[in-house]
Amino acid sequence: MSLHKDRAIVLSKRVYAESDKIVRLFTLNSGKVSAIARGGNKSFRRFMNTLEPFNHINVEYFDRHNKGMARIENADIIETNSGMERSLKKVCIASFFTEFTDKLTKEREKNENLFHTLHELLKKVREWQFTHETVLHYQLRMLEVLGFLPNFTNCVQCGEVVPDDRKIFFSVERGGIICTRCSDFLPCRVCAEGVIPWLSSMKEIPIYFEEGLTEKSDTQKVNGVSLLQAREIMEEFVSFHLDVEFKSYRLLKGFIFT
């Protein structure tokens, strides 16, 4: 059994037996780690509020050669989730993305880019008011880091580069756009013109988002029907290719997409 020292983001926690906690961590150097905190639920002093979801912490844990559950020895807070609990909307957003990270990663699979993306996201959740654009932005970025980003550039059937004004056909099953010619014989969703280019652009941080502003330029505006189509593309894509259902997503939709 070896001692590991690492930075981690707390994904979730649950009570185990009478006095212990089971914690899911996403660490910088070892990826997702399930660990037990002995006495973490009984003693106020033992870890105090360190192992709360969304916290960014320094952690020391004993691990048996990357097998089974680790045992947390010490932990201290780098950045706390304090204040987030006063907004149910913020909690829902943070819960969705920590669940997203948990369900789409394997145990002990290192991914520094994903760690830094999640860390950045949780910091922005505390500081900013998220919109549907910002949720889509981070969802697309996480999918890219995990290697699951839909193909918004080439026809997934023939490989042809599709210009923006012809990006209206999307195949959920094949995971990307389809050219006009291939759409004649492949099942696909038909979108309004501009929806797919707009969705693809959400992976980049718009200037108004980067500066924390609330007003969008004319080129960044999208009507309700187009937004609905973009959201449905992402929902169907994730459901079909990743075969996961996120418990926090239904509540999130009520806050963000209505």
CATH number at residue 17: 2.40.50.140
Residue 103 lies in a domain: no
CATH number at residue 248: 1.20.1440
Residue 102 lies in a domain: no
Residues listed for the chain:
258
pLDDT of residue 17: 76
pLDDT of residue 257: 61
pLDDT of residue 218: 41
Residue 59 lies in a domain: yes
Q: For residue 135, which of 256, 229, 250, 240 has the smallest C-alpha distance? A: 256
The number of distinct structural domains making up the chain is 2
Residue 117 lies in a domain: no
pLDDT of residue 60: 95
State how far the alpha carbon of 26 is from the alpha carbons of 106, 132, 244, in Å: 10, 25, 19
Residue 197 lies in a domain: yes
Q: What is the pLDDT along the chain (258 residues), one digit of tens a residue?
A: 789 999 999 999 998 877 788 999 999 999 999 999 987 666 556 677 899 999 999 999 999 876 779 999 999 999 998 878 788 889 999 999 999 999 999 999 999 999 999 999 999 998 888 888 888 999 999 999 999 999 999 999 999 999 999 999 999 999 999 999 999 999 999 999 999 999 999 888 654 555 554 444 444 456 677 888 998 999 899 988 888 878 788 778 776 665
Report d(CA 114, CA 104) in Å as an integer.
Answer: 11
SS3 call for 169: strand
Domain that residue 7 falls in: 2-81
